[in-house]
Amino acid sequence: MLQGKRWVLLRNWVQLLSRMGSSYLRQGKLRYVVETAGTVTNNGEAADTTAQIPSAPETLPVDGAEWVDLFVGEMMGASSVDDAKARASKLLEVLEKSISEHVAKEAAQSFHKENMMLKEQIQVLIQENTVLKRAVAIQHERQKEYQDKNNELEHLKQLVSQYQEQLRTLEVNNYALTMHLRQAQQSNSIPGRFHPDIF
């Protein structure tokens, strides 16, 4: 994808150079060259065909405008269309490398930032998990206390039921004893029925 974009950009520069060629020739800013086998004729004189490809600049441009200036400068310094192509290709390689390094640097910074954020989130989750564990332990303890109290209450209810049953039994026995006592008292109140020495 990037290779295709590079050659589209190169083609645009070549087209621009072609459109500028005639006017720059009249102004003496661009040599008119005709390529031949092994030599280049420059206004009728033989010249070396070896294009001087520019080396990568020591300090790369920092924005688009500087890159444009650099490209324009190289195109202005080109001695032929082939030289312009070679210069543009070299600069596009430098641009591609610069973009790749910039993207890699931003990706590394983004990864580091995201990694730090994830570490912070993990710390928060660990703290929340600790609080949650403590809350669960407290809730479990309260549940155990509630269960113990509930068991104690059930035991007390059973005791109350037993005591109530015993109370009813005692009341019945007390009533029976009371009736026997009354009958005995009534029998004792009849004169001459019992021998005096018995009482």
The pTM is what? Answer: 0.40
pLDDT band at 40 (very low <50, low <70, confident <90, very high): very low
Cβ atoms of 21 and 30 closer than 8 Å: yes
**Largest pairwise CA distance in the chain:** 180
pLDDT for position 152: 93
Report residue 127 as tokens. 């703290």
Q: Is the pLDDT of residue 98 over 70?
A: yes
> Any bridge partners for residue 34, and if so which?
41
> Any bridge partners for residue 138, and if so which?
none
pLDDT for position 89: 87
Cβ atoms of 17 and 75 closer than 8 Å: yes
Residue type, 121: Q
Q: Is the pLDDT of residue 83 over 60?
A: yes
Q: Half-sphere exposure of 47 toward its Cβ, with a 13 Å CA cutoff?
A: 17
Q: List Cβ neighbours of 186 (8 Å cut-off, separation of 6 or more).
A: none
pLDDT in tens, 130-145: 999 999 999 999 999 9
